[in-house]
Structure 1
Amino acid sequence: MNLFNNLTGKQHGGYSRLQNGGKATAAFKTAADCSTFLLLFTVLIFCVLKFLFGDIKYVLVPFLLIFFLGLLYKLQDRLLYHPEMPANSSLYVPFPSHLPHEILRLKTEDGEELHGYFIKKQENGSTSPTVLYFHGNAGNAGSPCTLPLNTICGCNVLVVDYRGYGKSTGCPSEEGLYIDGKTCIEYLRTRSDVDPNKIILFGHSMGGAIAIHLAAMAHGEEYRIAALIVENTFTSIPDAAQHVFRGILPGISKLPIVCYKNKFMSIDKIAKVNVPILFICGDKDEILDPNMTRILRNASDNSHTIFVRVPKGSHNDTWCVSHSYYKCVSAFLAKVFNEDIVLQNRSTEQASMEDILIDKPTSELVLTWKSEIIAT
């Protein structure tokens, strides 16, 4: 846990740029970057409207509306995707030098090249679960939270830089990130040392939306997965924007969904996920509304779910402030892959369906579907 505590202060994903008053700064900087193009475009629109209608009073309102909506649409990518955060993330991607790993370059169907790592379990790797990890909207494949998935949970781990992030090529977009995720699943299914029946999708924050999308689409043999894990994620970008910018743009809730370039509508997809789901939520998430994770769980229409609350967890450090975090992940995986085996010598019927305070060693932890767990 000392390693985890030392890493707590590092911004390794999520909406880092929007913290500590950075929302307005980022918005104004992005608006300035976009203004030249939009000014020329809207001047052209103004001239067209003036030619068609003549009277200035019939031109000014639509002109300003078009300018505002165009500016908002143009700057959305800059507000959502932060491959430059933390500083030098596009130049330096930490790698797990102390663990057996491969440096990968994966080609996507639309010609981009994804950089990433495959961390292999040292013993019985070909029969162990494999976690495909999706990081948040900042950072890169070097996030330290993936390492315990190998060292503690006993999984192979694949993590990549999204397009436009780290050492990958291209520019991020919602559809592009879905293609990146699909590329990773296809790659894992080509490896002879990966059990194709034990692939788990794990997404943090924006990565949770990518994982949910892929899990909802994974009904065919080609993209089949075994389980889904999401942590501190959101119901949709419109919902997240309303929460993040509620103090700056109070009228954002009135904005039609068509005005959102990136939507990530997880709330509409979660019910289509038919594999076991582990929902993890940090109660002290300072970026997203923690209730969004619970809303997703309630909308999942899935009898094989487990909900884990981390009372001290904020948006980026939930994984390292709880001694029980990876115990819960390990117990979830044990339940997914062998329901006849529990981690304690007693039947699952003896486990409470109410909140369970996790203060026991992993070997004594029993999970039941539809339970809610408090991980201290």
Structure 2
Amino acid sequence: MYSVLRSYLPPQFNHTLAKLRLDEAVAMTSSYLSWLRIPVFATSGLAALGSSLLYFKQNDIIYPANLPAGSRTNVDPPEKYGIQDAESIKFPTPDGETLHAYLLRPSDPSLRKNVTLVTFHGNAGNVGHRLPIGKVLSQSLGCHVFMVEYRGYGLSTGSPSEDGLSIDGQTALDFVRNHKELRKTNIVLYGQSLGGALAIKLLQTNYHVGDISAVILENTFLSIRKLIPSIMPAAKYLSYLCHQRWDSEQSLAKVEDAEIPVLFLSGLRDEIVPPSMMKSLFEQCPTAKVWKEFPNGDHNSTVAEPGYFEAIWGFLIREVLRGTRGEKPKRANVDVDSDQLRSEPVGE
């Protein structure tokens, strides 16, 4: 994403761009394009330039897999965060790519739940950046956690696209379905931001199979086309050029007669995805659903807000594990730095 933006931004923007988080880069770019609004739409040449940038370079903008620097090669191992019972896995997709994933197991057998969380990350970084989240989910909540790395991210091969990530999500789900250790567990799809859009798409294409027990969504958008006016107002009239649609509204509308509960986790200070989009998804969701909002959560920090993992825990106990055990479920306290829990990594 940054390499594309640098070629179109003035020097003072280029100087600081590499130091910014994704949301900050988007905000700065949006501000700059807003300043150009009049000449862009008054001059056909500049309008054509903007149209070409959005159409031909949108994959680089939507999927900044190299952010932060080194993300395509440097993937933290679970041991760095004190996660001992973990496995690094590589598996093929039907179209010839190789995906990387981590499987985290509950370290304490007495806490182990009959749940596998298949996690789909946001649009930047790699699964190594999300290991602190996986640590809480596995060591405190007692879930198996299958952390998938999309094509073009981290140690996975290929280049990202909506079609490609859709194949990756389906391949990961099928891998869990056929894994001797995981196939008899309750499968829960858990997606953050872009990962939430992928989880919704998988819900749409797999709900009839009957083996998805629940879905967890955090700060997810209605569609990329509807998101563009919010993050880049100057490009709102060009949103029709976006071929990476991720239309979660449309996907949810195709889910019929499914008894699959969905947990919505919404940060009300989200500066990237308007909270109203999450609320709209919640209202349109045709299945059983639970809403949990975090008044101080922004796009990156909602996962670190008080009550976040308690909401997931309560949802799993009530909606997924009900009736599966006679004893009262237990969980453990896990010491994780809240700064490490942020779902989007900070650029160096």
Provide TM-score, normalisation by structure 1: 0.71
Task: Please state how far the C-alpha of 1:17 moved relative to its aligned partner.
Answer: 2.1
With over 3 angstroms needed to count, the CA separation of the structure-2 counterparts of 1:25 and 1:309, relative to structure 1, is: closer
Q: Does 1:198 align with 2:186?
A: yes
Match of 2:289 in 1: 305
Matched ranges for 1:217-366 at <5 A: 217-221=205-209, 224-246=211-233, 249=234, 252-255=235-238, 257=240, 259-273=241-255, 274=258, 275-302=260-287, 304-322=288-306, 324-339=307-322
Structure 1 stretch 107-116 or stretch 190-199: which is displaced more? 190-199
Gapped regions of structure 1 (runs ≥ 5): 1-14, 29-59, 346-360, 364-376
Aligned residues: 294
Aligned to 1:131: 117
In structure 2, what residue type is equivalent to 1:306? V
Q: Deviations for 1:37-76, whole angstroms, at most 9, x for unmatched residues? A: xxxxxxxxxxxxxxxxxxxxxxx96x87665533320111
Equivalent position SS for 2:278? helix
User: Cα 1:26–1:106, aligned 2, differ >3 Å: closer, same or farther?
Assistant: farther
Letter in 2 for 1:276: P
Do the aligned residues in 2 keep the contact of 1:125 with 1:194 (CA within 8 Å)?
no
Q: How far is the alpha carbon of 1:135 from its aligned partner?
A: 0.5
CA distance in 2, matches of 1:180, 1:171: 11
Whether the 8 Å CA contact 1:104–1:118 is kept in 2: the answer is: yes
Shift of 1:340: 5.1
CA separation of 1:175/1:200 partners in 2, compared to 1, >3 Å: closer, same or farther? same
Q: Offset at 1:270? A: 1.7
Question: Residues 256 and 101 from structure 1, CA distance in 2 versus in 1: closer, same or farther, beyond 3 angstroms?
Answer: closer
Between the two proteins, what is the percent identity of the paired residues?
32
Once the two structures are TM-superposed, the CA of residue 336 in structure 1 deviates from its matched residue by 1.7
Displacement after TM superposition at 1:201 (Å): 0.4
Structure-1 separation of matches of 2:127 and 2:225: 26
Q: Which runs of 5+ in 2 are unaligned?
A: 1-19, 34-42, 333-348
In 1: Cα distance, 2:253 partner to 2:227 partner: 19
| Aligned AA (1:190) | N
Is the 8 Å Cα contact of residues 197 and 226 (structure 1) preserved in structure 2?
A: no
1:105 corresponds to which residue?
90
Q: Deviations over 1:96-151 (max 9, x none)?
A: 21220110001001101111100112427986200000000001011122221111
**Is the Cα contact below 8 Å between 1:279 and 1:306 reproduced in 2?**
yes
Query: 1:28-107 residue pairs with structure 2 within 5 A?
Result: 68-97=50-79, 98-99=82-83, 100-107=85-92
Which amino acid is the alignment partner of residue 263 of structure 2?
Answer: L
Q: Given the two structures, how large is their TM-score scaled by the length of structure 2? A: 0.76
Q: Contact between 2:113 and 2:142, CA under 8 Å: does it hold in 1? A: no
* Partner SS state of residue 150, structure 2: coil
- Greater relative contact order (Cα < 8 A, sep 6+): 2
- The answer (yes or no) to whether the contact 1:103–1:116 under 8 Å persists in 2 is yes
Q: Cα offset for 1:196?
A: 3.9
Asked if the contact 1:19/1:287 (under 8 Å) is kept, the reply is no
CA RMSD of aligned residues (A): 3.0
Provide the rounded CA distance (Å) in 1 between the counterparts of 2:239 and 2:291. 32
1:81 is displaced (CA, Å) by 0.7
Residue correspondence of structure 1 range 154-233 to structure 2 within 5 A: 154-196=142-184, 198-221=186-209, 224-233=211-220
Partner of 2:16: none
Deviations 1:194-248 (A, max 9, x none): 1445110000000000010001111343x831110000110100111110012xx
Match of 2:105 among 106, 117, 120: 120
Question: Secondary structure of the residue that 2:220 maps to in structure 1?
Answer: coil
* Contact preservation (8 Å) 2:115, 2:186: yes
Provide closer, same or farther for how the CA distance between residues 157 and 26 of structure 1 changes in structure 2, counting only shifts above 3 A. Answer: farther
